[in-house]
A and B are shown apart, each in its own frame.
Chain A
Amino acid sequence: MIEVRDIRKSFDGKEVLKGISTKYEKGKTNLIIGQSGSGKTVMLKTLLGVHTPDSGQILFDGQDYALLNVEEKREIRTEIGMVFQGSALFDSMNVEENIAFPLKMFTQKSDQDIKIRVQEVIERVNLNGANLKMPSEISGGMQKRVAIARAIVNNPKYLFCDEPNSGLDPKTAIVIDELIQEITHEYQMTTVINTHDMNSVLQIGEHIVFLKNGKLVWTGNSQEIMHTENEDIIDFVYSSDLLKEIRNFHNTKKI
């Protein structure tokens, strides 16, 4: 579990995160949603340790990250898997080498054991046959799968995903969402996903945190978000004409 207590972060005097407190539970897909500029990315990067909060605490399974020494912080980082928006696969490595990378860097496993583990993960994310392909030779959806495989290969406790669906067609986006949710349950990881994709919100949002102008304005799950009366959420969720029509239709039926 990751617990965030009253974190604040400013850049050049402008406060981007304004005292956010929440809990991201183990075995759940936790979503951070909000419009562009709401502080989602800063929030995620702060959780990852890329940014240091000005105040507040981030606790990884009860351990305050700020109080850990360099070696302990490094230890925590090896337990984090990250799926970047653009996949961030290493161009110079093929699929197999990309996935094996964390194992080679952080474990003492033999080459044979690494190969076996990589093959297991490749099969888990349905990438059979793509082992020797270079990132430039595979589709965006496959790149995302490789990124997920690389993130989970070392059995991390925490999985972070920054807009995992961006640039994907709706069908592939659903497949990626389902895959993330399945592996979250299977590996009992604490998964935090940064997204503004409403399909993801409705499909895999087991715990949703809504940010607006750096403030946490709503928390709930995918069922609750459909029925909330919170104006900010309604404004965000039903921003498209299609969804507005659906809501109007739904409300008319209720009357």
Chain B
Amino acid sequence: MNISRRGALKVAALGAAAATGVRKAEARERLVPPEDATGMLYDATLCIGCKACVVACREANELSLERESTLYDDAIDLSGHTANIIKLHNGDEGYAFVKQQCMHCVDPACASACMMGSFQKRDNGIVTWVPDKCIGCRYCQIACPFEIPKFEWDSPLPRMVKCQMCLAKAGSTDPGQLQDGKEPACCEVCPREAVIYGDYDDLKQEAQARLDANPDRYNPRVYGLDDMGGTQVLYLAPAGVEYSDLGLPEYGPDSVSHIPVGLQHKIYKGFVAPVALYAVLAGLTWRSRRQEDAQAGQEVES
């Protein structure tokens, strides 16, 4: 009885140790964009909602129409067929178009989630998906706070489709037009330069310069500098329009991975805790079985 109680205490102590770890685990270092990071800057005050970028994206990525039978491209949201979309916000304080595509996060939730690293940050920090490592578990969709990766629900051989900034075609590893020295398709066709492609640091400066030059024209904040740990796609909104109205929620500066992945790394640091727990459990099992054998022996004797 005494021994067993000590065993119980040991396990309890280990549990308590794990639990204290839990409390203090909420810190994981903030990730920074790679040095050669590129990105996009979308300026909602310039966009006229012509949707040329939606069509260009579909062509560049060889994605099929939302509905094959319609006269024109009538996608209304991102989906397994659509990796870039223009939406309209029409509120009391004003209206604005907004372009939606992958944000190419500095600390992408999809990449944290992905079991075999199918989603990863690659050249210039662009987040892409590799088909031959993906088992289609869709944990990336659970994780992505911008709800970007889309699954081909109507296919028996589904892919994960999202903007890969034309580094690769959506849903594949075929080279996109960025690799031909061109800009991403959406930036290339935009008649108003409402979305531009470039060096991430340059884009940050450009965004700030636009705010400084026309403070009355803009919402005073650039979205994406810190939001969700930072995104390599930056947004400017018109004065009076909140980013949350444009589908860009106020998430704060920590990525979704920050807490759970930090917690997991803390618990499994160096794999010490599982090994130690295994040693304790193996010891307890050995002792318990030896006692059992001894009891069985006694019963036979008596």
**A and B are partners in one complex rather than unrelated chains:** no
